[in-house]
Homo-oligomer: A and B are copies of this chain.
Amino acid sequence: MEYTVNKLARMSGVSGRTLRYYDQIGLLKPARINSSGYRIYGQKEVDLLQQILFYRELDVSLEDIMEIIHQPNFDSSQALQQHYEKLKEKRSRLDKIMATVEKTIASIEGGIIMQDQEKFEGFKEQLIEDNEQEFGKEIREKYGEKKVEESNAKLRGMSQEDYNALTKLGEEIMELLVKAYKTGDPHSAEAQELAAKHKEWLMYSWSTYSKEAHAGLAEMYVADERFTAFYDKAIKGGTKFLRDSIMIYLGLE
């Protein structure tokens, strides 16, 4: 099957302009040009475009995509790894920004006057974090969004204290995961403490606890991408490490 620009464009969801641009920069040349100067794309180009769009969707620059798809021996794994790190930074920056925006909204609505200095401190990377905690605490106390979460928790039949403990435990688990992971050994004291805390955490939401269920859940963590993404966010490979630690803790395997 052969396609002209706009046919391919409609098919792939990009614009005709985009295809011409890709031709121009040498990213995707048509299979041939017909007698009237029309660009004609074939099956090979369709496949290539898919690849391109795939990487583009991952936020890789066209220049980098060029390397990835045109160089056969290119180490795309490493390239993606680097790209991943960049994305992580981007997200953590986004998170900080969002926190500050939240606080700003709260301060406006709550009628709290933000001192100019405080505002200025906001964009001095390091200060922002210190400030965030103190400042954020005040706000949260008065108009906190956590209240919503808290009340939701109550509705679910959980006491305020339980909720606090659960939240804290969750944070501790994340911290411990990072620390334990660094020992590299799921038999280590840290890893076993991690597993124990994880059990503790589980028992808040499970009506009945059993080793089997715990082990099953640990396996689930590794198999289910939602969990893998969650625990690997703290540290890469953390999910598997957590599972191993739990298995040893439970005396299995």
Give the B-binding residues of A (Cβ under 8 A).
10-13, 43, 46-47, 50-51, 53-54, 56-59, 76-77, 80-81, 83-84, 87-88, 90-91, 94-95, 97-105, 108-109, 116, 119-120, 122-124, 126-128, 131, 135, 138-139, 142, 156, 202, 204-210, 212-213, 215-217, 219-220, 223-230, 232
Contacts and interface: CB of A to CB of B under 8 A. Distances in A.
A193 B99 CA distance: 29
A94 to B, nearest CB: 5
Which 9 A-B pairs rank lowest in CB-CB distance, beginning with the nearest? A205-B223, A13-B126, A213-B213, A213-B216, A57-B123, A77-B108, A57-B122, A50-B120, A210-B212
A91 B102 contact: no
Contacts of A212: 208, 210, 212-213
A119 B139 CA distance: 42
Given A46-B138, A84-B101, A98-B87, A208 B217 contact: no
Given A87-B97, A229-B99, A76 B108 contact: yes
A59 B99 CA distance: 12
Contacts of A138: 43, 46
Contacts of A54: 119-120, 122-123
Given A51-B119, A120-B50, A217 B223 contact: no
Given A205-B219, A208-B212, A225 B103 contact: yes
